[in-house]
Amino acid sequence: MKRTAIALADGRELIYFDERDDAVRDQPDRRELPPPPPASQLRLDPLTDEWVAVAVHRQTRTFLPPADQCPLCPSTHGRQSEIPAPGYDVAVFENRFPSLSGRVADEPAEITPYTPVRPGRGRCEVVCFTDDHNASFAALPPRRVRTVLDALADRTQVLGELPGVEQVFCFENRGVEIGVTLHHPHGQIYAYPFVTPRTRALLAAARRHAEGTGGRNLYADVLAAERAAGTRVVAENDHWTAYVPAAARWPFEVHVAPHRAVPDIPALDDAERDAFGPLYLDLLRRFDGLFDLPMPYIAAWHQAPVRVDRELGHLHLQLFSIRRAKDKLKYLAGSESGMGVFINDIAPERAAELLRAA
Residue-averaged pLDDT of the chain: 96
pLDDT digits (tens, 9 = 90+) for 242-264: 999 999 999 999 999 999 999 99
* Least confident stretch, 53-57, 150-154, 157-161, 233-237: 53-57
Check residue 107 and give its pLDDT: 75
Residue 181 has pLDDT above 80, yes or no: yes
Q: Which residue in 57, 77, 183, 186 is the catalytic one?
A: 186
Can you give the C-alpha Rg of the chain in angstroms?
Answer: 21
pLDDT of res. 105: 80
Mean pLDDT of all residues in 304-331: 97
Is residue 174's pLDDT more than 80? yes
The confidence score (pLDDT) of residue 141 equals 98
Indicate the annotated binding residues for Zn(2+): 70, 73, 133, 184
Stated pTM of the model:
0.97
pLDDT at 98 over 90: yes
Helix axes 270-290, 142-160, angle to 10 degrees: 120
In this predicted structure, what is the pLDDT of residue 60? 85
Identify the weakest region by mean pLDDT among 11-15, 64-68, 165-169, 314-318.
64-68
- Digit-coded pLDDT (tens) for 273-296: 999 999 999 999 999 999 999 999
Mean pLDDT value of segment 124-138: 98
What are the structural domains, with CATH classification, of the chain? 2-194 (3.30.428.10), 198-357 (3.30.428.10)
State residue 110's pLDDT score: 80
The yes-or-no answer on residue 186 being catalytic is yes
> Is 90 exceeded by the pLDDT of residue 109?
no
